[in-house]
Structure 1
């Protein structure tokens, strides 16, 4: 991509990232502060690439700190695949734990909805489930 200067609206359009999010990423240092042409921010191809990287990492559920670490590894030149792999492995473990939590929630909710559909319990089974002890599996 040619390094033609673009404004923030065009950067947003090219990357699918909200303008306010771009400004936020600049404030927290994920995106460098761009030069200005008059009162307008001026972005280039490297900014499009970096923002795309950040957006894809966020879509995969990486935290802002993890994205910052990945950017550091990617731009440092000394990044080894093993370091990136280690960061990804920790993230994968967290994702799998969240999936397990969601599966437990799904089972409890499915049971409550089935009990509601059966209409055999007095009162509302979902409300009873929400008041139940934590040791019931959620």
Structure 2
């Protein structure tokens, strides 16, 4: 289906995709979103394809995919006949990173609970939280 005439301004594109105009400019600058056509007065003009692509980018970023991963996913989405094993591999790799991050956050939560539970509410000079934060070493 051919692209309709680009008649949408940057504000309308941003509104439809659920982001801000600054985000649109950023994605154009880094090449995730194709540079817009311009009016004689220099205003950016977008069509429906830009809404689809920007929505894709925004959703991928909301899921925590890195800009390079989004770039790869966009390139693959532009080739609908290709097998999706590469898409699956990117998603699986990202899932592994998310699960690892969740494990680290869970350990951090447990340690923070322990520190808070040990706090007697006295003076800072005897505070177990300050003591734990001042101790050498990290929770990694």
Structures share fold, TM-score greater than 0.5: yes
The residue number in structure 2 matching 1:11 is: 13
**Preserved contact between residue 13 and residue 51 of structure 2 (Cα < 8 Å):** yes
Give the SS at the match of 1:76.
coil
Judged with a 3 Å threshold, the aligned counterparts in structure 2 of structure 1 residues 37 and 117 are, in CA distance, closer, same or farther, namely farther
**Preserved contact between residue 2 and residue 45 of structure 1 (Cα < 8 Å):** yes
Alpha-carbon distance between aligned partners in 1 of 2:61 and 2:21, rounded to the nearest angstrom: 16
Judged with a 3 Å threshold, the aligned counterparts in structure 2 of structure 1 residues 109 and 3 are, in CA distance, closer, same or farther, namely farther
State yes or no: 1:66 paired with 2:69.
yes
Deviation at 1:37, TM superposition (A): 1.3
Alpha-carbon distance between aligned partners in 1 of 2:107 and 2:91, rounded to the nearest angstrom: 24
1:57-96 to 2 correspondence within 5 Å? 57-96=60-99
1:37-116 to 2 correspondence within 5 Å? 37-38=39-40, 39-116=42-119
The residue number in structure 1 matching 2:22 is: 20
Structure 2 unaligned segments of length 5 or more: list them: none
**Preserved contact between residue 3 and residue 46 of structure 1 (Cα < 8 Å):** no
Give the SS at the match of 2:27.
helix
Deviation at 1:78, TM superposition (A): 4.8
Alpha-carbon distance between aligned partners in 2 of 1:17 and 1:125, rounded to the nearest angstrom: 43
Structure 1 unaligned segments of length 5 or more: list them: none
Runs of 4+ in 1 over 6 A off after TM superposition: none
Deviation at 1:7, TM superposition (A): 0.1
Give the SS at the match of 1:12.
helix
Higher helix proportion? 1
